[in-house]
Structure 1
């Protein structure tokens, strides 16, 4: 059985400002580094043998911090590896906007995105189904490579919620509440391979 540690990196300035980050590459802010350092204590205690990250800067920074902590703890070298398919959701023209701007200017679309995100495609962005397809592909490769033990995956919101959904087959809602989850992590036990074509 494989234990998956799903880690959200700490906050960026966009998280603190309530902006939609999407695929924009933004580093951890000072609070975000502190949140990540706090999360590392629990993550390192799980002793992951591999650390994978979303390719964005905040996730790569957090992944490097986790790998260094685990390596120091075990007196070994652990590296973090970015996965291109784990890029955050592309929110198109919404990227950089305040969530509040979308809520006030497009209230119907905002509610729909919060409650039924699979029915909305941000202008110039990607659908949730498209994101789930590439996340499923990346997860299947990881599960094929790691049959047992513990691995960590660092992914920002809302991508982390999509990863959780694909592994748990639960509902995806509240995708713009990511700033509330910065620096949090959870352990997910995967007992079987994901079926081909899962999305």
Structure 2
């Protein structure tokens, strides 16, 4: 199947999935919830360009400073709920924002990072050498890649979008913060903009970026 046909098939499937969701959850079309998406702070593996995925890396000194800075930036927001990936780097960032607010930080598995499978724990240099073809596909056609022993972006989009809808339903008329990972945030931005997963690399998310 050619790339164009594959992409068209994915687009039609995503549209069908959306119609199913809005039929199943008609209230999703009427919920007025303001949601802020924040990427976690820096970890040692971020600096060393090691694929993290589901590996539970804590924030390093820079990441902790970034978390305090984003907390200060968001201080004036009337945040009514804080949700986070269950991984430490996201939880620590969320806890920095929650400090001084009487709001519990709620871990939500739907927002956990992409499972990079066999790539996790390996440096970018190692991956380029061991998986040259797959790495090239990841950079050029991310929507087509399934990581060996891991996930693909369509799977991530399904769970992250369902988590987003659930958060919206649970928090009508409130401002909510979701702290997660680069992949999750980029995918949810694609969802919000009505873009398919082929636009993944067109969206940039630095550590503690706010959307």
TM-score, normalized by length of structure 2?
Answer: 0.78
- Between the two structures, name the one with larger relative contact order (CA 8 Å, sep ≥ 6): 1
CA distance in 1, matches of 2:121, 2:168: 34
Uncovered stretches (5+) of structure 1, i.e. residues with no partner: 72-76, 187-199
Give yes or no for the alignment of 1:108 onto 2:139.
Answer: no
- Contact 1:28-1:61 within 8 A present in 2 as well: yes
Match of 2:178 among 140, 146, 153: 153
Q: CA RMSD, aligned part only?
A: 1.7
Uncovered stretches (5+) of structure 2, i.e. residues with no partner: 1-31
- Contact 2:71-2:97 within 8 A present in 1 as well: yes
CA distance in 2, matches of 1:24, 1:16: 15
How many residues are treated as equivalent by the alignment? 177
Find runs of 4+ consecutive structure 1 residues off by over 4 angstroms.
none
Q: How much does 1:103 deviate?
A: 2.4
Matches within 5 A, 1:36-115: 36-69=67-100, 71=101, 77-115=102-140
TM-score, normalized by length of structure 1?
Answer: 0.82
More moved, 35-44 vs 57-66: 35-44
CA deviations on 1:108-158 (whole Å, 9 max, x unpaired) are 322221232110111100111111111111111111112223110000222
Q: How much does 1:35 deviate?
A: 0.9
CA distance in 2, matches of 1:110, 1:21: 16
- Contact 1:114-1:173 within 8 A present in 2 as well: no
More moved, 29-38 vs 156-165: 156-165
- Contact 1:68-1:79 within 8 A present in 2 as well: no
Give yes or no for the alignment of 1:174 onto 2:201.
Answer: yes
Higher helix share: 2
Aligned to 1:189: none
